[in-house]
Amino acid sequence: MDKLIATGGGPLRGEIRISGAKNAALPVMICSLLTSETMTISNIPHLHDITTIMELLGQLGVKLQVDDKLTIEANATEVNNVVAPYHLVKTMRASILVLGPLLARFGKAEVSLPGGCAIGSRPVNLHIKGLQALGAKITVDRGYIRARANRLRGARIFMDLISVTGTENLMMAAVLAEGTTVIENAAREPEVIDLARCLKTMGADIHGAGSDEITIHGVQRLGGAAHRVIPDRIEAGTFLVAAAISGGEIKIKDVKPQQIEAVLDKLREAGASLEVGDDWVHLRAPRGRLKAVNIRTAPYPAFPTDMQAQFVLLNSIADGTATVVETVFENRFMHIHELRRMGANIQLDGNTAVVQGVRKLQAAPVMATDLRASACLVLAGLIADGETLIDRIYHIDRGYHCIEEKLSQLGAVIRRVPRNYLERKSA
Ligand code: EPU
C-alpha cells in the first residue's frame, strides 16, 4: 500500500481542470445493464472505484471498452450472471446499484450486503423496501440480498430518509416497470439528475428529477445512448479549499458552479474572493487569516457531507471558533483524531465538532480512514510545518483523479512512496 508525503509550503496557485464525477459515473455505468444496446459514456474519471465497477459489470457479462480519452463503451447484450459478490461490494458500496437494474431487466439479482464502513453503519433498508413496493420478492440470506420479480409494477414510494443511491436504485428499477412510480422525498443531488438525464436519452419517461418527487412511467425497453458525465463537485470544492487554506489563488475549469453554491457561499463567508463564470470559478485567498465558518451538512442543495472534512480543516487554521454539525452520517469524524495529532484544537460532542482555529498545524504521520478524510489530511500536510506522511491512501485513489499530479501542477510538494518507505529509510 503506497503512502503520500506532503510537505507544507507556500500558496497553491494555477489552473486545473475538474474531472468527471465519481458518484455520477458509477450509476450511469451501471444503467448500461438496462439495455442490450451499446452505451457510450464519456468524461469518466480515472479512479479505483471505476475499475471496481468495471470488474463487477465484466463479471455480470457486460462487454466494456475504454479508450485513452476515458470514454467507455458498455454493452450488456450477454449478461449471464446476476450476482454481485462480497469482495467487490465491500470495497465499493455503490455496487448495490446493480440490484434495481438487474431485477428490472432480468427478474433476478443477488447482491452481497455491503455492511458498515468507516463513516457509519450505512444500511440499505430503503433500497430493499422500495423494490418490495415495486413487487420484488426479497430475502436476506447468508449475507446476500436475493431478489426475484416477474415484471416490476409501478408504485408510490415514500423514502423515510433522503438517500442518493436509494433514489438512483429505485429510479433504475422503475424505468422498466409496468405503470407509474412516484418516488417521494427523493434525493435532489446533481448526480441523481445526471442519471435521469442519461435514462431519458435511453428512452425512459422520467419527470421531476432534481425535485423531491420523481415520477417515472415505465416503458417496455430502453435503447443505447451517448452520455457525458457531469463534473465532480466534490473534487472542485476540495481544490478550492486547498487554495484558500494555503493563501493561494486558483482557477478551476470545467465545473458547474451552480452545483457548488453552498460551498462557494461558505468560502466567501470565510473571506475568500470569488469570481464565477459559466463553467469556471476563480478563488483568491484573503491576505490575512481565513475566518472560521459554521457548517451543517444536509442533503443537496444544503452543504454536502462530502465537503465536511475539508471545512473542518479550514476551520482548524482559521481565525475564531466554529461548529461543524454532521447530520448525514453518524460517524464521519475520524479525520478529527488525526488533525488533533497535527495540533488542531477540536472538541467533539456527538455529531458536533467545535473547532478553534490555531495559527499553524505541525506535520505528523497520519492515517486516512475514508475518501474525504484522506483528502482533508493531504491538504493538511500541504499547509503544516514539515513533512506529513499519510498512510492508507488507497482511499484517496478511490475518488480523486491523479490528485498528486493536480496538486503538483499548483505548486504543491507531494510525492508517493512505497509502503515500506520508512523501513527502507531507516535501514
Ligand atoms: N440510509 C439508510 N438506509 C438506506 C440508505 C441510506 O438509513 O437504505 C441512511 C445512510 O446511512 C445515511 C443517509 O441515509 O445516514 C444518507 O445516505 P445515502 O443513501 O444518501 O448515501 P449513499 O447513497 O450511500 C452517496 C454517495 C456518498 C455521499 C452520500 C451523501 C455515492 C456512490 N455515494 O452515498 O459519497 O456521501 O450519498 O451525499 O453516490 C463519497 O463520495 O465519499 C461518498 C461517501
Q: Whose CA is nearest to atom 40 of ligand 1?
A: 306
DSSP conformation letters of 111-177:
EE----BTTB----HHHHHHHHHTT-EEEEETTEEEEE-SS-B--EEE-SS--HHHHHHHHHHHTTS
Q: Grid coordinates standing for 423?
A: 523501513
Which stretches of the chain drop beneath a pLDDT of 70?
A: 115-117, 421-427
The answer for residues whose C-beta is within 8 angstroms of residue 231's C-beta and 6 or more apart is: 18, 19, 20, 21, 43, 254, 255, 256, 259
Which ligand 1 atom lies nearest to the CA of residue 124?
A: 8
Residue of minimum CA distance from atom 9 in ligand 1: 122
Q: Which cell is 297 given?
A: 451538512
The C-alpha cell of 311 is what? 471545512
Q: Which atom of ligand 1 is least distant from the CA of 49?
A: 32
Active site residues: 117
Look-up of cell digits 489530511: 377
pLDDT attached to residue 425: 59
Exposed/middle/buried for residue 121 (C-beta within 10 Å: 0-12, 13-18, 19+): exposed
CA distance 5 to 422: 11
Question: What is the value of pTM for the model shown?
Answer: 0.97
| Other residues' Cβ atoms within 10 Å of the Cβ of residue 221 | 12
User: Letter for the amino acid at 404?
Assistant: E
Pocket test for ligand 1, best of 119, 121, 122, 370 (most atoms within 8 A of CB): 122
pLDDT in tens, 92-128: 999 999 999 999 999 999 999 986 667 777 889 999 9
pLDDT at residue 261, as a whole number: 98
Ligand 1 midpoint to CA 120 (Å): 10
Query: What's residue 115's pLDDT?
Result: 66
How many residues would you count in the chain? 427
- Written as one letter, the residue type at 105 is R
Closest-CA residue, ligand 1 atom 17, reads: 163
Q: Name the residue of 238, 328, 394, 395 whose CB sits within 8 Å of the most ligand 1 atoms, as the mutation to test its pocket.
A: 328
Residue 287 DSSP symbol? S
Helix (H) or strand (E) holding 182, with range, is: strand 180-184
Cα separation, 100 vs 54, whole angstroms: 17
Start-to-end Cα distance in the chain: 19
What is the distance in A from the centroid of ligand 1 to the CA of 164? Answer: 6
CA of 124 to the centre of ligand 1 (A): 9
CA of 272 from ligand 1 middle (Å) equals 30
Cβ–ligand 1 distance for 126 under 6 Å, the answer: yes
Cα 76 from chain centroid (whole Å): 25
How far, in Å, CA of 396 to CA of 390, rounded?
Answer: 10
Amino acid at 155: A
Contact of 330 with 351, CB cutoff 8 Å: yes
124 lines ligand 1 (CB under 6 A): yes
What is residue 401's predicted lDDT score, i.e. its pLDDT?
86
- Tell me the CA–centroid distance for residue 287 and ligand 1, in Å: 37
Cβ of residue 120 lying under 6 Å from some atom of ligand 1 = yes
- The atom number, within ligand 1, closest to the CA of 304 reads 38
Report CA(122)–ligand 1 centroid distance (Å). Answer: 7
Q: State if residue 26 touches ligand 1 by the CB under 6 angstroms criterion.
A: yes
Q: Scan for cell 492508507, then name that residue.
A: 392
